[in-house]
Structure 1
Amino acid sequence: MILILGVILLGAAAAQEFQCTVIPGKLKQISAGLGMVYGVNENNDVFYRSNNKWLQVPGKLVLVAAGPAGVWGINPQNNIYRLQGSNWVQVKGSLVQIDAGGKEYVAGVTKENKTYCLNQADALSGSSDVTLIPVGTTFTYVACGRYGCWGIDQNKVTHFITGVQPNRCQGTGSQQVGGQNLYMLKVGEDGAVYGLSPDGGVYHREGVTASAPIGTSWRRLNVGCSTFKHLSYDQGYLWLIYTNGDIYRCRVPGLFPCA
């Protein structure tokens, strides 16, 4: 049930209401990190959230990623760009998905599902001539955060990439996590891990800590048991894109298990 009371209340019981603010606009993809929020609409126009407004950024991208490593993007030809000042500067290489949430390093996947990363030195260099390092594992999606990187394979099974460091972004291997099929992930600077299932459900990885970066289990969250196509997370807020492009900003303390 959806009630409009200045915010949207998603959930069955009053004591368990999930309060999500409706954000004006329509997007197909969103990325929040380091206090920044960027998004892309169906026309591949790029927007930046500032003072509760969407401001258009020049350029056409299919995907944008914001985080400690800066703001990065992929254009329709799978070229890689880094935002430097107000300009998109092309960086050597080709990817279909990119993430800037790690400790100032970047990770992404190619159209062949090969996984690559940029060490901290290259990610922050400002140079276009950088070295994409093979991670050695085949993923369709990769996301990094405080405790390392996560990947999703072609069977939608999740994995944790072990031994990742800012200047050893490829890590030392990977460990299958499983437990819930997902098609995308977001990892926060605080270590929190969220994902979307193939049916558009929102999941949280329970038990993630510095000493147990893989956590213990996946828990589905009741966001009105609605269907979403994209999510991001930063500084205690989930950003969710509904199937029709509507944008929701939800406070994490309101999350509770979906029955």
Structure 2
Amino acid sequence: MKAIAALLLVLCYVVESSTWECKEAPRLYSIRQIDAGMGQVVAATRYGRPYQLSGRYWYSLGLASLKHVSVGPAGTWGCDSSNKVYKLVGGNWKVVNGQTLQQVDAGGDGQVVGVAPTTNYSYCQRAKYACSYYGVGTLAWTGLTKPLVYVSCGKMYGCWGLDTRNRTFVAKKVNPDTCVPDGWTRVNGPTMQMIEVSTDGEVFGVTSDGKVFQRLGITDSRREGRTWRKIPMCMPISHLTYDLNHLWVVTSSGWLLQCTK
């Protein structure tokens, strides 16, 4: 099996489509989820260990056991297997009392968003409190007015989410000071299992069968974009993130690839 995986990775080195070229990234065994923002890359493994990439090496990030981590203008946030929310403060994870979330995203314009377990209600933490929180007190979260199974925000062009039928929606503007979205607009295209919005407004999605798509034509006046473009990959993908011209993809077999244009 290792020989087969190695062969597939060699093939990935030469995969070049739509100007994307992929190679094996610094290896993190049993990687489950990854997020990049503000020049930083963080990840969580299937065993609930959060890590941060520095150079060619992954380093353990705090002592908490987390299933999902996110980094962005509001800092580094995560949630554990019990759906408790955490923020990294002074190198240690601090519990954020006030709301349980099964997925969290810190990539917005200072605000933090996430999806609650069971109900799939989506919530937002205002930038003022998300950025300044240091582990003391309870935070009140604002509803984003739409049930979602996954949500991601960028600093420039709003928030994107997947509803309970895995259809894609965009809130073209979410006020970071009030967390009030300017409505949700349906974006036609393939059904996704996860969606990623980068700090600079790039949008990528992964379908349930592991295909990767990029949303093209996103501008300030057309924040829903114009069309989806498939990015061929040498293996099915389970998760991805994008920051500063680096597309990081986690394969369904647990390999991490780093793709650039």
Same fold (TM over 0.5): yes
Counterpart pick for 1:230 among 231, 236, 239: 239
User: Which structure features the higher share of strand residues?
Assistant: 1
Counterpart pick for 1:103 among 102, 109, 129: 109
Alpha carbons 1:164, 1:172 under 8 Å: kept: yes
Root mean square deviation, CA, Å: 1.9
1:17 and 1:139 map into 2 onto residues whose CA distance is 30
Alignment correspondent of 1:94? 100
2:219 and 2:65 map into 1 onto residues whose CA distance is 38
The 5 A counterparts of 1:158-173 are: 158-173=168-183
1:168 and 1:175 map into 2 onto residues whose CA distance is 20
Alignment correspondent of 2:224? 214
Counterpart pick for 1:49 among 23, 47, 53: 53
**Secondary structure of the corresponding residue to residue 124 of structure 1:** helix
2:9 and 2:88 map into 1 onto residues whose CA distance is 39
1:98 and 1:69 map into 2 onto residues whose CA distance is 12
Q: Aligned pair in 2 of structure 1 residues 17, 97: CA closer, same or farther (>3 Å)?
A: closer
| Structure 1 unaligned regions, length at least 5 | 254-259
Deviation readout 1:186-209 (Å, 9 max, x if unpaired):
111111000101110110001011
Alignment correspondent of 2:23? 20
Q: Given the two structures, how large is their TM-score scaled by the length of structure 1? A: 0.90
* Shift of residue 223, structure 1, vs aligned partner: 2.0
Alignment correspondent of 1:195? 205
* Shift of residue 129, structure 1, vs aligned partner: 1.6
Q: Aligned pair in 2 of structure 1 residues 3, 99: CA closer, same or farther (>3 Å)?
A: closer
* Shift of residue 170, structure 1, vs aligned partner: 2.9
Alpha carbons 2:37, 2:107 under 8 Å: kept: yes
Deviation readout 1:53-96 (Å, 9 max, x if unpaired):
10012220010011111100001110000001111111121000
2:183 and 2:115 map into 1 onto residues whose CA distance is 16
Confirm or deny that 1:178 pairs with 2:188.
yes
Q: Given the two structures, how large is their TM-score scaled by the length of structure 2? A: 0.90
**Secondary structure of the corresponding residue to residue 138 of structure 1:** coil
Counterpart pick for 2:87 among 67, 75, 82: 82
2:180 and 2:113 map into 1 onto residues whose CA distance is 9
| Structure 2 unaligned regions, length at least 5 | 1-6
* Matched residue count: 248
Counterpart pick for 2:43 among 29, 32, 39: 39
Alpha carbons 1:74, 1:97 under 8 Å: kept: yes
Alignment correspondent of 2:122? 115
What percentage of residue pairs aligned between the two structures are identical? 32
Q: Give the counterpart letter for 2:228 in structure 1.
A: W
* Shift of residue 2, structure 1, vs aligned partner: 4.3
2:183 and 2:33 map into 1 onto residues whose CA distance is 29
* Shift of residue 3, structure 1, vs aligned partner: 6.3
Q: Give the counterpart letter for 1:24 in structure 2.
A: R
2:171 and 2:162 map into 1 onto residues whose CA distance is 11
Q: Give the counterpart letter for 1:68 in structure 2.
A: P
